[in-house]
């Protein structure tokens, strides 16, 4: 008996609510600031940007453009589509697991998917990673239906789905390679129609592929693989923030393989193993052989496959209700800490705090005051103006003498920030000046990211900086400063 659509929908809604809960708490970080700033531009301005950079995120930016027009760009509203996408992915996992196993495996896989740390992370990320998970799940559903029914309609739909998936996120092309292995194992005679549909899908997406390839220099910042490679490929893609859950999930899957012949030979494994493994293998291999392309968050779309593996294993070896509950708790309990940590105020990479800075300025600055952003920030590749980009209303009415060329007009990602020396004459009219820059650091700091990036930051004191001395020369003195997590706001007055 097939599970009703109500079970899939119910678990999907549960996952979306779980994902959206407390999503308003973390401050926006650099990548999310790009979403907020870019997606609110007019369609011609957005097209101008995508012609130069970030085409890989074009579909996501376009969808968020219309979302923001309806619901605004608060932390909650910006992240809600991601929570919904996780819910859609979970619903799809239930449908998928029932196609390759049974109702019990479907429900358990859906539950695991809803609490998998990578997906609860994606649910509070105003980027397109949750969308890639949803697309991957439903493209796999279409593949399985095509394999079973064999009708041309489903292969056409699969071809269109492949094209759409690649346009949404080019790394999803690796999922099609995983699907090839699944077809080889499950329905070898369907290799020809599968290959035809995959090729047609690739050709349909070719213009987008060429455009994204032209902009491949944008990922030149991705670090090379290093000694953390095992953690980077075995933990972070699915269990970010909780290695304990990764170990327990692996134990459950291995036990399922040993103890259950039906699990070892199931269609579920033929679907989930290539999906979970091959995209990572391909991206890591390319990163080692050519240039770095692998990031743990880029393979978020493999997380539902791991939920299938774990849920299927629990269904196979949890022979009674108590045993099943114990196995679920073994995976879920270590994930609770990761879930809560993902929803703290400074949960984002490096503990970025742009929302907190914007809120402070909205509460304390007054119309007519001046604001100046540090031209260089240790925590972003651009200036400290990111705080203004995410919440321009917080800076409304303030004089902004340091703003140079407009990113919107020129198709750039970020506005130009002029150095103090270039705007000294404009500062003459400022009696109160708010300076936004890096937080005070008494000691050197080392920040390690799951992306393999390691930042070594020297000590920093505003009053030792070039900006401070230039402002003093112009007649300003520090009135007060407020320290955040990685930023500070300094109020200066003309002496």
pLDDT, position 1:
40
Is residue 3 classed as helix, strand or coil in its secondary structure?
A: coil
pLDDT band per the 50, 70, 90 thresholds, residue 204: very high
In the predicted model, what is the mean pLDDT of residues 383-396?
A: 97
Q: What's the CA angle centered on 415, arms 81 and 122, to 5 degrees?
A: 20
> What is the longest distance spanned by two Cα atoms in the chain?
83
Q: Does the pLDDT at position 404 exceed 60? A: yes
Rounded to two decimals, what is the model's pTM? 0.95
pLDDT, position 4:
66
pLDDT, position 3:
47
Report how far residue 475's alpha carbon sits from residue 472's, in angstroms, rounded to the nearest whole number.
5
Count of residues in the chain: 495
pLDDT, position 466:
97
pLDDT, position 216:
76
Q: In this structure, what are the phi and psi dihedrals at residue 417, rounded to the nearest 5 degrees?
A: -110, 120
HSE (side-chain half, CA atoms, 13 Å) at 425: 1
Percent of the chain's residues with pLDDT above 90: 90
Q: Note the pLDDT tens digit of each residue in 343-370.
A: 999 999 999 999 999 999 999 999 999 9
Q: Note the pLDDT tens digit of each residue in 125-176.
A: 999 999 999 999 999 999 999 999 989 999 999 999 999 999 999 999 999 9
Q: In this structure, what are the phi and psi dihedrals at residue 140, rounded to the nearest 5 degrees?
A: -70, -35
Q: Note the pLDDT tens digit of each residue in 46-82.
A: 999 999 899 999 999 999 999 999 999 999 999 999 9
In the predicted model, what is the mean pLDDT of residues 313-341?
A: 94
Q: What's the CA angle centered on 7, arms 4 and 10, to 5 degrees?
A: 140
Q: List Cβ neighbours of 308 (8 Å cut-off, separation of 6 or more).
A: 93, 96, 97, 100, 109, 113, 268, 271, 272
Closest C-alpha among 443, 450, 445, 382 to residue 416: 382
Q: Note the pLDDT tens digit of each residue in 278-296.
A: 999 999 999 999 999 999 9
Report how far residue 14's alpha carbon sits from residue 21's, in angstroms, rounded to the nearest whole number.
11
b/e per residue, 133-143, with b = 16+ CB within 10 A?
A: bbbbbbbbbbb
Q: What is the DSSP-derived secondary structure letter of residue 382?
A: S
Q: List Cβ neighbours of 150 (8 Å cut-off, separation of 6 or more).
A: 190, 193
Identify the sign of the CA torsion 328, 329, 332, 334: negative
Q: List Cβ neighbours of 219 (8 Å cut-off, separation of 6 or more).
A: 292, 293
Closest C-alpha among 126, 193, 110 to residue 159: 193
In the predicted model, what is the mean pLDDT of residues 22-30?
A: 98
Question: Which tokens belong to 231?
Answer: 């953690």
Question: Which tokens belong to 116?
Answer: 């998998």
Q: Does the pLDDT at position 226 exceed 90? A: no
Q: What is the DSSP-derived secondary structure letter of residue 142?
A: H
Q: Does the pLDDT at position 34 exceed 90? A: yes
b/e per residue, 460-474, with b = 16+ CB within 10 A?
A: bebeeeebbeebeeb
Residue where the block lists tokens 């995120």: 57
Which parts of 261-403 fold into alpha helices (H)? 261-264, 267-289, 303-317, 321-341, 354-364, 386-390
Q: List Cβ neighbours of 320 (8 Å cut-off, separation of 6 or more).
A: none
Question: Which tokens belong to 71?
Answer: 């619901």
Average pLDDT for the chain: 95
């Amino acid at each position: 008996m097939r599970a009703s659509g109500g079970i899939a929908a119910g678990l999907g809604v549960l996952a979306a609510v779980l994902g959206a809960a407390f999503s308003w708490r973390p401050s926006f970080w650099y990548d999310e600031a790009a979403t907020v700033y870019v997606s609110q531009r007019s369609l011609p301005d957005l097209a101008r940007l995508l012609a130069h950079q970030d085409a890989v995120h074009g579909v996501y930016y376009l969808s968020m453009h219309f979302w923001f027009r309806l619901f605004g760009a608060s932390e909650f509203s910006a992240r809600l589509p991601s929570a919904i996408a996780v819910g859609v992915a979970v619903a799809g996992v239930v449908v998928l697991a029932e196609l390759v196993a049974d109702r019990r495996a479907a429900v358990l896989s859906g539950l695991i998917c809803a609490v998998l740390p990578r997906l609860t992370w994606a649910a509070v990320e105003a980027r397109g990673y949750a969308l890639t998970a949803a697309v991957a799940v439903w493209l796999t559903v279409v593949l399985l239906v095509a394999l079973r029914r064999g009708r041309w309609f489903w292969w056409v739909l699969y071809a269109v789905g492949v094209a759409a998936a690649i346009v949404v996120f080019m790394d999803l092309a690796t999922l099609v390679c995983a699907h090839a292995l699944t077809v080889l194992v499950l329905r070898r005679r369907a290799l020809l129609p599968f290959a035809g549909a995959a090729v047609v899908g690739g050709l349909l997406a070719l213009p987008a592929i060429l455009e994204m390839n032209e902009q491949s220099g944008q990922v030149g910042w991705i670090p090379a693989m290093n000694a953390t490679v095992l953690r980077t490929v075995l933990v972070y893609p699915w269990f970010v923030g909780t290695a304990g859950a990764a170990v327990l999930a692996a134990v459950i899957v291995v036990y399922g393989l040993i103890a259950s012949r039906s699990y070892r030979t199931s269609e579920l494994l033929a679907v989930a193993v290539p999906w979970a493994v091959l995209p990572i293998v391909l991206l890591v291999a390319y990163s080692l052989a050519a240039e770095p392309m692998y990031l743990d968050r880029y393979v978020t779309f493999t997380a539902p496959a791991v939920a299938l593996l774990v849920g299927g294993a629990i269904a196979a070896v949890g022979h009674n209700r108590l045993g099943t509950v114990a196995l679920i708790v073994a995976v879920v309990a270590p994930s609770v800490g990761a879930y809560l940590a993902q929803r703290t105020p400074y949960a984002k990479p490096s503990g970025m705090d742009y929302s907190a800075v914007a809120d402070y300025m909205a509460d304390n600055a007054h119309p007519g005051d001046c604001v100046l952003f540090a031209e260089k920030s240790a925590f972003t590749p651009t200036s400290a103006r990111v705080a203004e980009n995410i919440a321009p209303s917080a800076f409304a009415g303030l004089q902004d003498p340091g703003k140079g060329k407009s990113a919107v007009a020129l198709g750039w990602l970020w506005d130009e920030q002029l150095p103090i020396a270039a705007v000294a004459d404009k500062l003459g009219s400022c009696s109160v000046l708010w300076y936004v820059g890096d937080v005070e650091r008494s000691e050197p700091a080392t920040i390690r990211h799951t992306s393999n990036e390691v930042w070594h930051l020297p000590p920093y004191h505003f009053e030792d900086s070039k900006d401070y001395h230039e402002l003093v020369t112009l007649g300003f003195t520090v009135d007060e400063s407020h320290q955040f997590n990685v930023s500070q706001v300094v109020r200066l007055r003309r002496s």
